[in-house]
Amino acid sequence: MCNLFENKTTFRDLLDAFGQHQPPILKPDRHAAPNLQPLEAVRPTDMAPVVRGFGDGAELTAMRWGFIADRPKAGPVTNFRSEGRRFEQGRCLVPATAFFEFTGARHPKTRWRFTEAGRPWFCLAGLWRAYETADGASERFTLLTTEPGPDMAPYHDRQAVVLAREVWRDWLTGARPQDELLRPGAAGTLEVRRDSPEREALPALPLFGAL
């Protein structure tokens, strides 16, 4: 279950990558260039950039990570099981430069860094929802998960869905069946390495719920 990722993409990175589609997914005339700060560690309830459908393209916005749980006092839902569910609305893409998993029964656990092979950054499949809270309206996102592929299986029994660049538009628009998209990649899709001792020394993450 992914409860930590990193995002050091810039607005120019996003425009360049999404602009390769025709028509472009992100259009410069629709966005004032935001100052995207590099995020070394995005944790549950943190704000992070999200790309969602807008008109004939998409828009870049910021949302808080984690759906509000239905059960009282339950933590935010940061991961959402994709199998056996249909997602007709609320699809989004979550840019990231890495995501992390932990192994080991005791603290400090071993921290593993996952990236897309051959890419400096990638997008995770996500969902977003709007909520009315005591503090006002709030938009939140969660990450979709699937069974682990061969790159993830030695480390965890679930994995976040990494979407190849050529299917980003298909995910946002529903142009292809979701079962073709929400699945793990072949061996070699992800690169994994044990993280540095400095990173492993970070405080242990709390456990949050997943659906």
209 occurs within a structural domain: no
pLDDT-derived band at 208, boundaries 50, 70, 90: very low
- Mean pLDDT computed over 154-179: 95
65 occurs within a structural domain: yes
- Mean pLDDT computed over 100-106: 91
pLDDT at position 59: 86
Q: Domain with 182 in it: what CATH number?
A: 3.90.1680.10
Residue of 210, 165, 169, 168 whose CA lies nearest to 189? 165
pLDDT-derived band at 18, boundaries 50, 70, 90: confident
211 occurs within a structural domain: no
207 occurs within a structural domain: no
Q: How many separate helices (H) and strands (E) can be counted in the chain? A: 4, 13
Dihedrals φ, ψ of 165, to 5°? -60, -35
144 occurs within a structural domain: yes
pLDDT in tens, 24-56: 666 555 555 566 889 999 999 999 999 998 777
Structure tokens at 27: 């259009």
Kindly give, in sequence order, each residue whose CB lies less than 8 Å from that of residue 90, ignoring residues fewer than 6 positions away. Answer: 127, 128, 129
Q: Which domain holds residue 52?
A: 5-200
| 8 Å CB contact between 190 and 115 | yes
pLDDT at position 124: 98
Q: What is the pTM of this model?
A: 0.87
104 occurs within a structural domain: yes
Between 24 and 187, name the one with better pLDDT.
187
208 occurs within a structural domain: no
- Is 206's pLDDT higher than 60? no
Percent of the chain predicted with pLDDT > 70 = 85
Residue 163 forms beta bridges with which residues? 123
27 occurs within a structural domain: yes
Number of domains in the chain: 1
SS3 content of the chain, % helix, strand, coil (to 5): 15, 40, 50
Structure tokens at 37: 């700060």
- Is 198's pLDDT higher than 80? no
- Map tokens 């192994």 to a residue: 103
